[in-house]
Chain A
């Protein structure tokens, strides 16, 4: 197996035994990027020079027995996380030249361990989208079929992991932006509990929903990366006061007696039959491993998408107000201040971003606030209560991650509502704030991967990872590689 195809866990052992050097992993990763990136377009920029510089430091750390989990491991980072001195555009024209003078907390924590940043990955502009087609620069391609989307918004990160253009990646998930592309690209992706991972330095889309999480080749790698990036951060007031659990003891435990909830609202019309079959088989598999399936109900599920598109857009309309051409980023001069504002934002933002800013501005307007924003917050509480109630009965909940496998470019761009429905199974999880993972659970006849979503209680990533690992270890799906 080539080094770029390996996992964090596998490379860790080799590095610690000094069988390989960090720079050799980089050689393999950049050779792969060289070979396939023109087809995949996972990255917006690669950071080869910085990576090799970090590799030297990583090597010293290993030689001096100061290695940590990520020392010498190449990781790709979604372009909405600030990296000091390195271009961070959010795949938007409005930040085309933005070089942050500060580091996000997640990358800072990886830096402390001497990780190797391979590059910044492509995404839908400001993380708004489900296909990367909203990137202001170019779309990323699905490594399993380059005529299909990789999902979004963390499509670049998912594609980079699936194509072995990195060992692991970070993404962000506001309504499914880690899990849906993980599902469509056949990799593992986890959205942690809201507050489990610091948002400091993550360019905000919807502050009460955004969470950073790992995209990896195995469940074990996800657990490991989560351990590195998670835990309290004094710079983020919404980060939970606790340290991140060490999942080493959890991974590998058997799941006998674990109660798996099957919400009937997630197996409905619109769900692709191949996806449904794979997910049902996956549940059977879990049952064969000793888990107990329990039919449950999450009665407010049908309101999730509408609720999400009020809350997320409201917060976005405010979060994106700072891109006004005054301080940094793109500016188009105008005849006066208002003209400058309008030209800058009209030209700097893409159509989907503008659509959401307008939706959110409307929802917060005086006279509409109670009918939209306040009502949506109330429904959000009901959705959260649904999960709280369900978790009185079960330990984890199993659902499909996305209603279909990867779709073709252009298939949904003309109908935003169709596109929004790509996130129908992932959105409630962000509104409730609970953790959820997506992992490969099969392939459609056309060879495209299918994802299983496992949802847990607040701060119970452990149960999610335990079930996911047990499933993964008893199946072969994660071992398949796309034939690029």
Chain B
């Protein structure tokens, strides 16, 4: 039997606010434990929360960007459970009336656009961190993270493959970063993902039994964890077993998911409306103000890159994932670079070089105009495409203009027919055997002759002219 997976993702995104959601403490990452706390966020008796307007703005902005309905009336709820990193004994979250409902995110899979529906986006406060150190019969609690504002973005079960899940995560991250509502840093926990996974025979309408996967904290792990879990479920079914409704934890070191708790052990969080906060009723004026502040988002940009620059979906998707990359592309094109050529260079050489150094495009030593300048030299025949790679590497190393590199290194293409002819003649004179074989039908030797001439001219011979000359000479000799 063939199976398909049904996946829904719950993504926690830390909102990019200066201060916590219910108090004035800093949200800075990596400070001395408990240095960013106050009576409110450590849950002392009698203190009260005051909602950070900036956090609500982040959530609304995100909702607008993913086509959600912004609720005219929404409120916070308390999620009750005991844990040392939860100082109040409850987490202030949203339950019955979240800030955003509905919406969708578009992903590109095999060059096709697919819409992944969203259930809701709600706001909540983060918990602190238990630290198990020192080996004694105790743990430490760091409450710096307590009260840091999060939004939880819950997708519909519209995802079918681990690759789609990864594409969804990447797109969501891109949108959040475009909006500057989340820095998208998975290592620091700014973006965390839980997944609901089930499998069913292809063609079956009903969903299979759902398993919740927790602790998926990088893009790589999203795919790995899902792949493992889907295989595990299919194997269980094929072996005649049943899937248990449970929560499983993904261990990134072993690549395996393990049962954390069963449905029976699930918490009863006893949600009820938070009486210390009043319901949120965003005014029409404020919503409009936020709407006006929205910039062009990845999907719109992708569509525009296809229609305006004639790029394939794939190129457009890749170039629009990061706002800075898209801007770099557009600057190169407006400096005269041909769009597809710019795209090729960016996705090829440039990305490789940046990745080698773990550098972001903002810190790229080559400026967009410089790439456009180099492409011009290829177009007008000053350098060959092959030499251009050498030129580009030098530009990347030194930050110099293409023309300067070409001049300094003497990399100007030889388009002087007499000079190329001379080199061809010399190579042919040295290769009587190869000529014999070529004439006998071994046409692969053409490459040998080209290579020899290129070697003699240090790669600078105009490839087109060289080819024509060689063909002519070989036929006539």
Chain B min CB distance to A435 (Å): 19
Does A365 contact B87, Cβ atoms closer than 8 Å?
Answer: no
Given A200-B47, A234-B50, A369 and B272 touching (CB < 8 A)?
Answer: yes
Given A318-B90, A366-B268, A369-B272, A326 and B84 touching (CB < 8 A)?
Answer: yes
Contacts of B39 in A (CB 8 A): 100-102
Chain A min CB distance to B44 (Å): 7
Interface: B186 (CB within 8 A): no
* Segment with Cβ contacts to A, from B4-12, B273-281, B288-296, B428-436: B273-281
Does B268 contact A318, Cβ atoms closer than 8 Å?
Answer: no
Contacts of B46 in A (CB 8 A): 80-82, 100, 104, 199-204
Size range of the chain A interface in the assembly = 35 or more
Interface: B189 (CB within 8 A): no
Assembled-state Cα–Cα distance A318/B275 (Å): 11
Assembled-state Cα–Cα distance A261/B400 (Å): 90
For chain A, residues 318 to 338, give those with C-beta under 8 angstroms from any C-beta of chain B. 318, 320-324, 326-328, 337
Interface: B160 (CB within 8 A): no
Interface: B141 (CB within 8 A): yes
Contacts of A82 in B (CB 8 A): 44-46
Contacts of A80 in B (CB 8 A): 46
Contacts of A204 in B (CB 8 A): 45-46, 276
Chain B min CB distance to A99 (Å): 11
Contacts of A158 in B (CB 8 A): none
Assembled-state Cα–Cα distance A202/B46 (Å): 5
For chain A, residues 79 to 136, give those with C-beta under 8 angstroms from any C-beta of chain B. 80-82, 88, 90, 95, 98, 100-102, 104
Assembled-state Cα–Cα distance A79/B393 (Å): 74
- Which of A80, A104, A315, A318 is the most central at the interface, judged by chain B CB atoms within 10 Å of its CB? A318
Given A104-B46, A318-B90, A366 and B84 touching (CB < 8 A)?
Answer: no
Assembled-state Cα–Cα distance A199/B44 (Å): 14
Interface: A475 (CB within 8 A): no
Assembled-state Cα–Cα distance A55/B48 (Å): 31
Assembled-state Cα–Cα distance A346/B292 (Å): 55
Contacts of B84 in A (CB 8 A): 324, 326, 337
Given A100-B45, A102-B39, A237-B49, A322 and B268 touching (CB < 8 A)?
Answer: no
For chain A, residues 200 to 214, give those with C-beta under 8 angstroms from any C-beta of chain B. 200-204, 206-208
Q: Which DSSP category, helix, strand, loop or mixed, fits chain A's interface? A: loop
Chain B min CB distance to A353 (Å): 14
Chain B min CB distance to A431 (Å): 13
Interface: A149 (CB within 8 A): no
Contacts of A100 in B (CB 8 A): 39, 44-46
Does A324 contact B89, Cβ atoms closer than 8 Å?
Answer: yes
Does A366 contact B87, Cβ atoms closer than 8 Å?
Answer: no
Assembled-state Cα–Cα distance A104/B39 (Å): 12
Contacts of B82 in A (CB 8 A): 321, 324, 341
Chain A min CB distance to B20 (Å): 15
Assembled-state Cα–Cα distance A369/B275 (Å): 16
Contacts of A315 in B (CB 8 A): 272, 275
Interface: B282 (CB within 8 A): no
For chain B, residues 133 to 165, give those with C-beta under 8 angstroms from any C-beta of chain A. 141
Interface: A364 (CB within 8 A): yes
Chain B min CB distance to A84 (Å): 10
Contacts of A202 in B (CB 8 A): 46
Interface: A373 (CB within 8 A): yes
Interface: A235 (CB within 8 A): yes
Assembled-state Cα–Cα distance A32/B278 (Å): 45
Chain A min CB distance to B457 (Å): 76
Assembled-state Cα–Cα distance A90/B278 (Å): 26
Given A237-B277, A322-B87, A324-B89, A199 and B48 touching (CB < 8 A)?
Answer: yes
Chain A min CB distance to B79 (Å): 10
Interface: A385 (CB within 8 A): no
Does A328 contact B50, Cβ atoms closer than 8 Å?
Answer: no
Assembled-state Cα–Cα distance A337/B48 (Å): 27
Does B48 contact A200, Cβ atoms closer than 8 Å?
Answer: yes
Does A365 contact B278, Cβ atoms closer than 8 Å?
Answer: no
Does B272 contact A88, Cβ atoms closer than 8 Å?
Answer: no
- Which of B39, B46, B48, B268 is the most central at the interface, judged by chain A CB atoms within 10 Å of its CB? B46
Interface: A54 (CB within 8 A): no
Given A364-B80, A366-B270, A322 and B275 touching (CB < 8 A)?
Answer: no
- Which of A81, A88, A206, A326 is the most central at the interface, judged by chain B CB atoms within 10 Å of its CB? A326
Does A318 contact B47, Cβ atoms closer than 8 Å?
Answer: no
Interface: B51 (CB within 8 A): yes
Assembled-state Cα–Cα distance A98/B87 (Å): 16
> Chain B, 11-48, contact with A by CB distance < 8 Å: what is the 0/1 string?
00000000000000000000000000001001111111
> Chain B, 275-316, contact with A by CB distance < 8 Å: what is the 0/1 string?
111100000000000000000000000000000000000000
Assembled-state Cα–Cα distance A278/B39 (Å): 47
Interface: B78 (CB within 8 A): yes
A–B complex contacts, Cβ < 8 Å, 24 sampled: A90-B45, A98-B45, A100-B45, A104-B46, A199-B48, A200-B46, A202-B46, A237-B277, A238-B275, A315-B272, A317-B270, A318-B80, A318-B270, A318-B272, A322-B87, A326-B141, A327-B42, A327-B44, A327-B87, A337-B84, A341-B82, A361-B270, A364-B272, A366-B268
Binding site for B on A (CB under 8 A): 80-82, 88, 90, 95, 98, 100-102, 104, 199-204, 206-208, 234-238, 314-315, 317-318, 320-324, 326-328, 337, 341, 361, 364-366, 369, 373
Closest CB pairs A-B (n = 8) = A321-B89, A364-B270, A207-B275, A208-B275, A203-B45, A203-B46, A201-B46, A322-B43
